[in-house]
Amino acid sequence: MTTEKTPKHYTDATLDELRTQGDPLADETVAAMFERGEVRDFNTLMRFFSTAGHKLPDGLPQSAASFLEATGMPPKWVDWDIMERARLFFMDNAPHINTGLSFAAMPATYAVPRVAKLLASTHSMDYPSRRMANTGQFVTYLMQTNAFEEGSKFIPAAQKVRLLHAAVRHHLTTSGRWNIERDGLPLCQEDMIGGQICFSILVLDAMHRLGIHMSDEGAEAYYYAWRVVGSILGCDMEAAPDNLTEARAYADLYLARNLGPSEDGVRLNNQLMRMYEDVVPGTLFDPIVPATIRFLVGPTIADWLQIPRSAWDTAAKAVPVVLGLLETVEDSGPLGEWALDKAGSLLTTFELASLTRGRVMQYAIPEELKSEYGVRSQASRTHRWVPPAPTPAVP
């Protein structure tokens, strides 16, 4: 017999408490390695650990080995049918998801002064291409058919990210460079869950704004996949939203209490825009980058990030019309679907290759999913996913 969960409600008090919490398992592991002087050995040896199921490197610190063994399996509650739907959704929408990540989710995180300050403190803003490449590759690892099996690249990548977050918390809290009383714990649970929200529902919001047709099931499956990611990265799943309706409530409160202008946010977003302008040869289309970001994040966040206005702002508003025409072509038959899927695959591969200069990692998207399952995640043009309504303001 199953019992329905009580819907989660979020208040300032809820998020205030999450702001004081980290990731105990990862934090204890990192603290033990720092205390014993094992961090350098760990970093060196972990370069040789990138595939699930492989033997851990000899000489790995015991605390790290225990952590990797304890976190090497996916959560027991994962529904694999939903994860398959999430993979199909990703296959159908990879270029649009990447657009949402690059031009909506990333700038939104830069508009949270505390997060921008953290990125500045760890020099992450000096390497925006690496951060974007790592994010894109991480999502791609997640969406491969063997993501949670022996031979997977995803689980080791997630374990490394989780320990990296713990190392950042340790460094900032012990160096005296972070005001815990004012800003809470660096990379706290509020922000970890906030990051999961930005990469899920804000990406879906951006796709909706672009006029992309999505089914309710596809959108929920995409969010579910990020919920699984959140669990693996150490998010408190008792606090994290269970579905898109709860995610909307969390996002509304999180952004309302945290968004604002900052010099770090402006610098970080400028780096991001410059990076994408450099991807396309020449300067003719450079203004389309800030115009697209402004269109997707809205005027308030765009002004906080000092994103310049231009005549291209009007052109960006026509993007949904163009994408609508392309989807009409895709819906016209197998040939149109094949052509646009191939173009999307090439665009996605080109984007990451440009970010990494072809050196960092292979960007492999599995091509077997559609033929294996014979299903498309897109909705008919008369029935499409609509974002959950904004949370009513509490007087």
State the CB neighbour count (10 A cutoff) for residue 79.
11
Per-domain residue ranges of the chain: 12-50+68-319
> Among 21-25, 42-46, 122-126, 275-279, which is the least confidently predicted range?
122-126
Q: Which of 17, 9, 10, 33 is nearest to 185 (CA)?
A: 17
On the question of pLDDT at 304 being above 80, the answer is: yes
Compute the average pLDDT of residues 255-267: 95
On the question of pLDDT at 127 being above 70, the answer is: no
Q: Which of 276, 266, 252 is nearest to 98 (CA)?
A: 276
Q: Which of 388, 384, 118, 119 is nearest to 252 (CA)?
A: 388
243 band by pLDDT with thresholds 50, 70 and 90: very high
294 in the Ramachandran plot: left (φ > 0), alpha (ψ -120 to 50) or beta?
Answer: alpha
Contacts 24+ apart (CB under 8 A), 321-326: 321/211, 323/96, 323/210, 323/211, 323/212, 324/211
Q: Which of 165, 125, 127 is nearest to 269 (CA)?
A: 125
Q: pLDDT digits over 320-344, tens only? A: 545 554 455 445 555 444 444 544 4
Compute the average pLDDT of residues 229-233: 95
What's the angle, vertex CA 108, arms to CA 105 and CA 110, rounded to 5?
115
B/e letters for 327-344, b = 16+ CB within 10 Å, e = fewer, are beebeeeeeebeebbeeb
299 band by pLDDT with thresholds 50, 70 and 90: very high
Q: Is the CB of residue 110 less than 8 Å from the CB of residue 305? A: yes
What's the angle, vertex CA 246, arms to CA 241 and CA 247, rounded to 5?
70
Q: Is the CB of residue 384 less than 8 Å from the CB of residue 213? A: yes
Q: Which of 384, 392, 368, 394 is nearest to 87 (CA)?
A: 368
On the question of pLDDT at 371 being above 50, the answer is: no
Q: Alpha helix (H) ranges present in the chain?
A: 12-18, 24-35, 39-46, 62-70, 80-100, 106-110, 113-121, 128-142, 154-175, 180-183, 189-209, 216-232, 244-258, 263-279, 288-297, 299-304, 312-316, 319-331, 334-356, 369-373
| Coil, strand or helix at 74 | coil
Q: What's residue 350's pLDDT?
A: 42
Distances (CA, A) of 1 to 4, 79, 238, 243: 10, 17, 21, 21
On the question of pLDDT at 352 being above 50, the answer is: no
Length of the chain: 395
Q: pLDDT digits over 144-180, tens only? A: 788 887 788 888 889 988 998 998 899 899 888 899 9
On the question of pLDDT at 374 being above 70, the answer is: no
Q: What's residue 379's pLDDT?
A: 52
Distances (CA, A) of 387 to 109, 252, 382: 20, 12, 16
Q: What's residue 219's pLDDT?
A: 95
Q: What's residue 136's pLDDT?
A: 66
Q: Which phi and psi angles does 243 have, rounded to 5°?
A: -150, 180
Q: How far apart are CA 95 and CA 105, in angstroms?
A: 14
Q: How far apart are CA 336 and CA 340, in angstroms?
A: 6
Q: What's residue 137's pLDDT?
A: 72
Measured in whole angstroms, the distance separating CA 228 from the mean position of its chain's CA atoms is 12
Q: Which of 304, 214, 215 is nearest to 255 (CA)?
A: 304
Structure tokens at 109: 């995180």
Q: Is the CB of residue 337 less than 8 Å from the CB of residue 374? A: no
Q: Which of 275, 295, 394, 395 is nearest to 10 (CA)?
A: 394
Q: How far apart are CA 212 and CA 205, in angstroms?
A: 10
